[in-house]
């Protein structure tokens, strides 16, 4: 995959949480652990391993046994130990090149994958630091984290809750009993990088906070659309695509992918191909420090060759089913959310779901999205001339591929389309509305 960037090595898919070496559990541990696990799923981590003091066994077990059912929740387990790094190396020898380590005592408040942008294989890792810490354990010089020292009463930099460590760095940490002790040792050796982040908190809020969402089309918006894209080896980012997703992540948006994939119903490829392609997209985004929180795709089409995909589900854009399903599973602030795609059907789906929509017609997705994401996006006044929610023209089909009959899709549930007033007839050749940012911005149906 190419994106105009040299991608780093893949981001880790395992999170290690260290819950200190205290003799007793700390207030809020249960809720905080559950929040850390839920957030790990958002960032694409597949597994979470919690290393804790034996006295905290009850609260850790309670946290794991009472995890709510949420989208993208990773597998989680725990180890009671007084020597977390020694146990880590023996129990989890195949962690990969690097591992993300979190303190179980605080909640980070930044894009976790942002540490990928600061990683350097020649170092032991990189630690997230915040300014104004009372205990001042670190000094940040350029991009290096060094042991903290005070000048008068001025605080230095505190630990913001996350560190991305190279696997080779774990070898010398076997006798470190806390994450803080391990990081201090690496800082004293001069091998630890540092990156500024917001200060963490101790007490959790809701396990998943309400946020605005950015709904993104795939082909023609994130990647080059050469017609029926399904081969991961031919997936090519458009300019600014990965940076646009990261910017939305950094600003606290949920980022969702919603894509029509009628090539499945037409027999050109399978749902497995779609999932492999989407997984490759997510993998490269994570290496860039970006991520998709969740993905929906629709394989049906009225002219599908495979009968199972000929049934209408309400998910094929311009129908709003994919967006509605995501908003039913995630706490989305609809009035602050945005749908972006390169086709009129993307705009139609966003409007029908009650979400402001912008049609991407530029050369750089990050430059296009930046003003929309950064601005205080007030609901615009009713605008005339929004395009009809017509289905996009189908690309020229490739030569048919022999594909075995595919059973009825199990990756989505039909969602009924919401009842709404019929769209008014549009005048021919409508003038495209322009927002104060200079891009077409179409309000949702409910304010037209």
pLDDT of residue 39: 94
Check pLDDT > 60 for residue 384: no
pLDDT of residue 151: 55
Tokens of 239: 């300019």
Catalytic residue among 29, 114, 219, 225, which?
Answer: 219
Tokens of 412: 């989505």
pLDDT in tens, 151-205: 555 458 889 999 999 888 888 898 898 898 999 999 999 999 999 999 888 876 7
Tokens of 292: 């998709």
Q: Which residues make beta-bridge pairs with 147?
A: 138
Q: Where residue 43 falls among pLDDT bands split at 50, 70, 90?
A: very high
pLDDT of residue 49: 95
CA distance 178 to 202: 17
Q: How far apart are the first and last CA of the chain?
A: 41
pLDDT in tens, 334-355: 999 999 999 999 999 999 999 9
Q: What are the sequence ranges of the domains in the chain?
A: 14-196, 213-447
Q: Where residue 263 falls among pLDDT bands split at 50, 70, 90?
A: very high
Q: What is the mean pLDDT of residues 289-317?
A: 94
Check pLDDT > 70 for residue 437: no
Closest listed residue to residue 259, CA positions, set 346, 366, 344 = 346
Q: Which superfamily does CATH assign the domain made up of 213-447 to?
A: HAD superfamily/HAD-like (3.40.50.1000)
Give the percent of the chain with pLDDT over 70: 76
CA distance 149 to 156: 7
Write the CA distances from 261 to 271, 323, 389, 411, integer angstroms.
9, 15, 18, 12
More confident residue, 343 or 363: 343
pLDDT of residue 37: 95
pLDDT of residue 336: 94
Catalytic site residue 219?
yes
Q: What is the mean pLDDT of residues 66-82?
A: 91
> For the chain, what is the mean pLDDT?
80
Check pLDDT > 80 for residue 388: no
pLDDT of residue 93: 79
Q: What is the mean pLDDT of residues 26-41?
A: 86
pLDDT of residue 134: 61
Closest listed residue to residue 411, CA positions, set 339, 325, 343 = 325
pLDDT of residue 6: 36
CATH of domain 14-196: 3.90.550.10
pLDDT of residue 9: 62
Write the CA distances from 145 to 156, 292, 343, 364, integer angstroms.
11, 30, 47, 35
Long-range contact set of residues 389-394: C-beta below 8 Å, sequence gap at least 24: 389/318, 389/344, 389/345, 389/347, 389/348, 389/349, 389/351, 389/352, 389/423, 390/318, 390/344, 390/345, 390/348, 391/316, 391/317, 391/318, 391/345, 392/260, 392/343, 392/344, 392/345, 394/262
pLDDT in tens, 85-110: 998 888 877 788 889 999 998 999 89
Q: How many CB atoms lie within 10 A of CB 83?
A: 16
Which element (helix H / strand E) includes 164?
strand 156-166
Please, which residues have CB within 8 angstroms of residue 418's CB and are 6 or more apart in sequence?
320, 324, 352
What strand order describes the sheet that includes 294-298? 294-298, 254-260, 213-216, 338-341, 356-359, 441-442
pLDDT of residue 149: 66
Catalytic residue among 13, 217, 300, 346, which?
Answer: 217
Catalytic site residue 153?
no
Q: What is the mean pLDDT of residues 40-65?
A: 92
- 213-216/254-260 β-pairing: parallel
Check pLDDT > 90 for residue 64: yes
- Tell how far CA 338 is from the center of its chain: 16
Check pLDDT > 70 for residue 243: yes
pLDDT of residue 47: 94
Q: How many CB atoms lie within 10 A of CB 254?
A: 25
Check pLDDT > 60 for residue 386: no
Q: What is the mean pLDDT of residues 299-317?
A: 93
Write the CA distances from 157 to 113, 154, 172, 335, integer angstroms.
20, 10, 24, 37
Q: Where residue 23 falls among pLDDT bands split at 50, 70, 90?
A: very low
């Amino acid at each position: 995959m190419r994106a105009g960037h040299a991608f780093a090595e893949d981001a880790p898919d395992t999170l290690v949480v260290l819950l200190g070496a205290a003799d007793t559990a700390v207030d809020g541990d249960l809720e905080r652990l559950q929040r850390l696990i839920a957030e790990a799923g958002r960032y694409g981590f597949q597994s979470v391993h919690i290393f804790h003091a034996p006295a905290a066994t009850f609260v850790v077990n309670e946290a794991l046994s009472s995890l709510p059912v949420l989208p993208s929740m990773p597998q989680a387990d725990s180890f009671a130990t007084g020597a977390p790094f020694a146990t880590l190396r023996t129990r989890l020898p195949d962690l990969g090149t690097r591992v993300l380590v979190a303190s179980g005592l605080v909640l980070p408040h930044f894009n976790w994958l942002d540490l990928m942008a600061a990683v350097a294989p020649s170092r032991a890792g990189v630690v997230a630091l915040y300014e104004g810490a009372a205990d001042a354990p670190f000094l940040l010089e350029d991009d290096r984290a060094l042991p903290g020292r005070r000048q008068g009463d001025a605080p230095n930099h505190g630990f913001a809750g996350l560190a991305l460590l190279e696997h080779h760095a774990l070898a010398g940490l076997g006798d470190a009993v806390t994450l803080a002790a391990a990081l201090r040792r690496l800082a004293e050796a001069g091998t630890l990088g540092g990156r500024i982040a917001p200060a963490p908190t101790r007490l959790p809020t809701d396990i998943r906070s309400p946020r605005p969402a950015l709904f993104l089309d795939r082909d023609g918006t994130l990647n080059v659309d050469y017609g029926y894209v399904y081969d991961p080896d031919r997936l090519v980012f458009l300019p600014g695509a990965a940076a646009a997703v990261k910017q939305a992540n950094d600003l606290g948006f949920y980022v969702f992918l919603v894509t029509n994939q009628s090539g499945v119903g037409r027999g050109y490829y399978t749902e497995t191909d779609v999932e492999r392609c989407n997984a490759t997209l997510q993998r490269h985004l994570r290496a860039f420090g970006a991520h998709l929180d969740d993905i929906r795709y629709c394989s049906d089409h009225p002219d599908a060759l495979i009968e199972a995909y000929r049934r209408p589900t309400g998910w094929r854009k311009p129908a709003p089913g994919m967006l509605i399903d995501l908003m039913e599973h995630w706490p989305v602030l609809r009035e602050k959310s945005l749908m972006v795609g390169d086709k009129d059907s993307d705009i139609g789906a966003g409007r029908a779901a009650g979400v402001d929509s912008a049609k991407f017609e530029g050369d750089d997705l990050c430059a296009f999205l930046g003003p929309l994401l950064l601005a205080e996006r007030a609901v615009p006044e009713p605008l005339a001339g929004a395009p009809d929610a017509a289905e996009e023209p189908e690309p020229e089909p490739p030569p048919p591929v022999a594909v075995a009959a595919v059973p009825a899709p199990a990756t989505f549930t039909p969602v009924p389309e919401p009842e709404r007033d019929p769209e008014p007839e549009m005048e021919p050749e409508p003038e495209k509305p322009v927002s104060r940012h200079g891009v077409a911005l179409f309000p949702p149906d409910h304010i037209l």
